[in-house]
Amino acid sequence: MNEIKSFLKKLKAYDLVVIAFYIFLTILHLIFYDKIFNSGGWIMINAGIISIAFLLAFFEDRYKNRVWRILHYWYIAPLILLTFKELYFMIKPIRGMDYDFLFINIDRFLFGGDPTKFFYQIANPFLTEILQMVYGSFYLLPIILCLSLLRKKRYVATDFALFSVVYGFFLSYLGYFLLPGIGPRFTLHDFNLVNQALPGLYLTNFLREVVNAGESIPAGTVNPADLVQRDVFPSGHTMITLIVMYLSIKLKSRSRYFFIPIGSLLIFSTVYLWYHYVIDLIAGVFFMTFAMWSGKYIFNWWRRKTHKEEFEYLKH
Q: Position 52: which residue type? A: I
**What is the DSSP secondary structure assignment for residue 218, as one 8-state letter?**
-
Among residues 131, 170, 144, 138, the alpha carbon closest in space to that of 16 is found at 170
Distance of CA 265 to the CA centre of its chain: 17
What's the one-letter identity of residue 187? T
The full set of domain ranges for the chain reads 1-95, 97-316
Confidence class of residue 8 from pLDDT cuts 50, 70 and 90? confident
Selection from 47, 66, 56, 75 nearest residue 10 by Cα = 56
How far is 280 from 213, CA to CA, in rounded Å?
A: 22
Rounded to an integer, what is the distance from CA 164 to the centroid of its chain?
Answer: 11
Residue 205 pLDDT greater than 80, yes or no: yes
3-state secondary structure 75-139: CHHHHHHHHHHHHHHHHHHHHCCCCHHHHHHHHHHHHCCCHHHHHHCCCCHHHHHHHHHHHHCCC
Angle between helices 278-307 and 256-272 (to 10 degrees): 140
What letter represents residue 249's amino acid? Answer: I
CA distance 149 to 303: 19
Residue 6 has pLDDT above 80, yes or no: no
CB count, 10 Å around CB of 209?
A: 14
Q: In the prediction, which pLDDT does 65 show?
A: 84
Reported as a single tens digit per residue, the pLDDT across 300-316 is 999 888 875 544 445 55
Average pLDDT over residues 98-126: 97
Crossing angle between the packed helical segments 236-250 and 278-307, to the nearest 10 degrees:
50
Give the percent of the chain with pLDDT over 70. Answer: 95
Q: What is the pLDDT of residue 9?
A: 80
Predicted confidence (pLDDT) per residue in 18-74, tens digit? 999 999 999 999 999 999 999 999 999 999 999 999 999 999 988 888 899 999 999
Contact present, 116 and 189 (Cβ < 8 Å): yes
pLDDT in tens, 252-271: 888 999 999 999 999 999 99
Distances (CA, A) of 182 to 55, 83, 224, 267: 37, 18, 10, 18
**pLDDT of the residue at 315:** 55
Q: For residue 34, count other CB atoms closer than 10 A to its CB.
A: 7
- Please determine, for residue 286, whether its predicted confidence score (pLDDT) is greater than 80: yes
Average pLDDT over residues 140-151: 94
Helices (H) and strands (E) in the chain, counts: 17, 0
Average pLDDT, the chain: 94
Taking the C-alpha atoms of residue 192 and residue 124, their distance in angstroms, rounded to an integer, is 19
